[in-house]
Amino acid sequence: MFPTIPEFTAFCKKKGLFYPSSEIYGGLAGLYDYGHLGTKLKKNFENLWRNYFLGLDDNYFEIETANIMHEKVFEASGHLKNFIDPVVPCSKCAWKERADHFIQQQLQKKAEGFAPEELTGIIQKNNLKCPQCKSALKPVAVMNMMFPVQMGIGSTGRAFLRPETAQSPYVNFKLQYELQRKKMPLGLALIGRAYRNEISPRNLTLRQREFTQAELQIFFNPKKINEHPQFEAVKDYQLRTLLVGDRGSGKAVERTAQDLLQLGWPKFYIYHLVKVQQFYLEQLHLSPTQFRLSELSTQEKAFYNKYHFDIEVELAEHGFTEVGGVHYRTDHDLSGHQRLSTQTMEILDEATGEKFIPHVLELSFGVDRNVYALLDVNYEYSKERDYVVLHLPEKLTPYFCAVFPLVKNKPELVAKAEEVYSAVKQKFSCYYDESAAIGRRYARADEQGVFYSLTIDFDSLQDQAVTIRNRDTTVQERVKITRLLQRLEELYHRWQ
């Protein structure tokens, strides 16, 4: 059972997951801080993502780049002109909202991609009013979402906080291509911050003004988009897809990779769709019914995308929600940077003698949204236990295990527990707790997502064994201390 949003908000703050930034001064809309548990969970997701996606190809590498970028980067990419959101303000009060989101909330139909005048027409035709004061709404206007930064004292030049991490690999591409000995395809991954001046940030960390993205930009020869050396291995894999034509039913349809190939998508693109779904089902351990790949229509997709599938996870309070995307950006970005910088982005295929500007396949993930989704789908209020259990997977939970002496007033028990803790923490994320009754410590651990609680009791002094308690089942297992690390290793890797 999922709580109300206020209950979930209170739980996340109480457990040190996340909470409003600058809260002692009333907070700032669209900005959140991660506490001690939330930071560990977020880093665990990032590390799992990093290891998985960089492992797809030996020529995929991670880079780290500046958050502030030259104004011309965003002139070349089109962001100065096109990175805008439609805003509808009230004619009387201070209320304002992103127009397409407002229409979707009021009419339960998508309005993304419509021009401002079209959105104004929909609002007027349906006689939509300000939800706060019931007054008429002004015509829809547009607002650029980027944050400008003044660089230096008295400088007239402008820079911007990047609105997406993608441009950083694009401006690094040519140098990295040379450094990696001109091999293709080349993947440049980046986990970093992006900044968007959202009109109405909401839903906690689902829509923020400062957020973390994990992206892999894959540069490849466009003539080879219908090739991938491992496609045959995945051709029968069932993908959970919601194509534009499926929207009438609203249900994802299982289609094989081969089915999508016959429907017109190329092998290189489909292969990475498969790898994305496998990441969610096999690494994050989502139920298949909680996941889908949703195709965007021509009108909905970003101006630079030829193919666009959103990665969606079903959340308790929000339904299927975008947490990432798989985008074929063609040569839009590199061509733009070549044109404005006057530096060539062309490369030479030495086998054929052909020169070309690489195209880009982008795997994009909102880290904060994915962390929220992990909390959402793994949150359970247990009526039997009368408290929350956070069923996070082993490799994601902030703490894999915890060590408890049965009581704290017996020095011999405490000494043995500290000995066990000292050994376990060398290999696993672990904490030590001797405060409160053992039942209360189990409850605290379950609420934090701790997968295994290790208890040292009076029998441990005789048989040199500990009790391993499973968070999800509460089943207990007795294991010799000499075999404890081996057993924990087995449990940690039980999905492999």
**CATH number of the domain within which 107 lies:** 3.30.40.230
Question: How many residues belong to the chain?
Answer: 496
130 & 41 share domain: no
259 class by beta-carbon count within 10 Å (0-12 exposed, 13-18 middle, 19+ buried): middle
Per the domain annotation, does 391 fall within a domain?
no
28 & 92 share domain: no
217 & 104 share domain: no
Per the domain annotation, does 214 fall within a domain?
yes
DSSP bridge partners of 347: 356
The percentage of residues in the chain with a pLDDT greater than 90, rounded to a whole number, is 87
Tell me the CB-side half-sphere exposure of residue 459, using CA atoms within 13 A.
Answer: 7
The answer to whether the beta carbons of residues 197 and 148 sit under 8 Å apart is no
3-state secondary structure (DSSP) of residue 294 = strand
91 & 159 share domain: no
- Check pLDDT > 80 for residue 154: no
Per the domain annotation, does 320 fall within a domain?
yes
- Torsion angle, alpha carbons of 300, 290, 20, 214, to 10: -60
Of 125, 144, 163, the residue that ends a domain is 144
Nearest Cα residue to 402 out of 444, 466, 456, 453: 453
pTM metric for this prediction? 0.92
403 & 364 share domain: no
- CATH assignment of the domain containing 307: 3.30.930.10
Domain range for 439 is: 399-492
- Quote the tokens at residue 392: 């996070």
Residues 6+ apart with CB under 8 A from 308: 295, 296, 300, 301, 302, 325, 326, 327, 328
Per the domain annotation, does 75 fall within a domain?
yes
The percentage of residues in the chain with a pLDDT greater than 70, rounded to a whole number, is 99
Q: How far apart are CA 269 and CA 355, in angstroms?
A: 22
150 & 293 share domain: yes
478 & 351 share domain: no
Per the domain annotation, does 384 fall within a domain?
no
Per the domain annotation, does 385 fall within a domain?
no
Segment 412-455, tens digit of pLDDT: 999 999 999 999 999 999 999 999 999 999 999 999 999 999 99
- Check pLDDT > 80 for residue 24: yes
Domain count, the chain: 3
20 & 128 share domain: no
414 & 435 share domain: yes
Q: How far apart are CA 361 and CA 268, in angstroms?
A: 9
For residue 176, the model assigns a pLDDT of 97
Per the domain annotation, does 260 fall within a domain?
yes
3-state secondary structure (DSSP) of residue 227 = coil
292 & 313 share domain: yes
| DSSP output for 102-150 | HHHHHHSS--TT--HHHHHHHHHHTT---TTT-PPBPPPEEEE--EEEE
Q: How far apart are CA 494 and CA 299, in angstroms?
A: 44
Of 93, 128, 144, the residue that ends a domain is 144
3-state secondary structure (DSSP) of residue 22 = coil
- CATH assignment of the domain containing 457: 3.40.50.800
Segment 176-217, tens digit of pLDDT: 999 999 999 999 999 999 999 988 888 999 999 999 999 999
Per the domain annotation, does 392 fall within a domain?
no
49 & 109 share domain: no
Nearest Cα residue to 65 out of 175, 198, 158: 175
Of 99, 116, 144, the residue that ends a domain is 144
343 & 331 share domain: yes
Tell me how far CA of residue 94 lies from CA of 89, 101, 133, 224, in angstroms: 7, 18, 10, 52
